[in-house]
């Protein structure tokens, strides 16, 4: 996962595209979004993902919360994924509408966040790999 994330954030567009294709093939990640802040159901920016439809599952991701990015001004710390980190409450959206929405969501999140892969877990035992918006490197 770290290797794919390194490609996703690398400077070469072709490498980023190959990493995205590989994540979609291996994990079905192109149709999975993990949210932990303002995009979550009932929160300030849920309207950005609500039209996508799909199925929501509550659970968590592991990592570290950092008070950075524009979401911190709304009371939502950004997350840096880390295996063995604290359990951060999150929601997994599975939607066939996500592949056509990534460019818009990337623009909405802006440069303070980068779309990376992370494992998601739920109390019911659901484990899935999906994209989430992490604190950008250096933020």
SS3 sequence of the chain: CHHHHHHHCCCCHHHHHHHHHHHHHHHCHHHEEEECCCCCCCCCCHHHCHHHCCEEEEEEEEEEEECCCHHHHHCCCEEEECCCCEEEEEEEEECCCCCCCHHHHHHHHCCCEEEEEEEEECCCCCEEEEEEEEECCCC
Distance CA 24, CA 71 (A): 27
Beta strands 127-135 and 32-35 are parallel
Q: Could you tell me if residue 94 is inside a domain?
A: yes
CATH number of the domain enclosing 101: 3.10.490.10
Q: Could you tell me if residue 2 is inside a domain?
A: no
Which two three-digit tokens encode residue 6?
């390194």
Domain count across the chain: 1
**Nearest residue to 83 via CA among 50, 125, 119:** 119
Query: What is residue 6's predicted lDDT score, i.e. its pLDDT?
Result: 56
Q: Could you tell me if residue 97 is inside a domain?
A: yes
Rg, the chain, Cα only: 14
Domain membership of residue 33 as a residue range: 28-135
Q: Could you tell me if residue 114 is inside a domain?
A: yes
Q: Could you tell me if residue 18 is inside a domain?
A: no
User: How many beta carbons lie within 10 A of that of residue 82, not counting itself?
Assistant: 12
Query: What is residue 20's predicted lDDT score, i.e. its pLDDT?
Result: 65
Query: What is residue 137's predicted lDDT score, i.e. its pLDDT?
Result: 85
Query: What is residue 17's predicted lDDT score, i.e. its pLDDT?
Result: 66
Q: Could you tell me if residue 112 is inside a domain?
A: yes
Query: What is residue 26's predicted lDDT score, i.e. its pLDDT?
Result: 77
Q: Tens-of-pLDDT digits for all 139 residues of the chain?
A: 555 555 455 555 566 667 667 766 777 899 999 999 999 999 999 999 999 999 999 999 999 999 999 999 899 999 999 999 999 999 999 999 999 999 999 999 999 999 999 999 998 887 899 999 999 987 6
**pTM for the predicted model, two decimal places:** 0.84
Q: Could you tell me if residue 42 is inside a domain?
A: yes
């Amino acid at each position: 996962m770290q290797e794919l994330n390194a490609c996703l954030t690398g400077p070469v567009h072709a490498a980023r595209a190959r990493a995205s294709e590989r994540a979609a093939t291996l994990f079905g990640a192109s149709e999975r979004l993990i949210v932990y802040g303002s995009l979550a159901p009932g929160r300030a920016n849920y309207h950005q993902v609500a039209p996508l439809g799909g199925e929501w599952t509550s659970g968590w991701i592991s990592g570290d919360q950092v008070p950075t990015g524009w979401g911190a001004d709304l009371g939502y710390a950004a997350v840096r994924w880390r295996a063995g980190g604290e359990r951060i409450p999150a929601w997994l959206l599975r939607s066939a509408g996500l592949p056509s929405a990534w460019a818009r969501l990337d623009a909405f999140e802006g440069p303070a966040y980068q779309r990376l892969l992370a494992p998601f877990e739920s109390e019911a035992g659901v484990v899935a790999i999906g994209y989430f918006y992490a604190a950008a490197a250096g933020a």
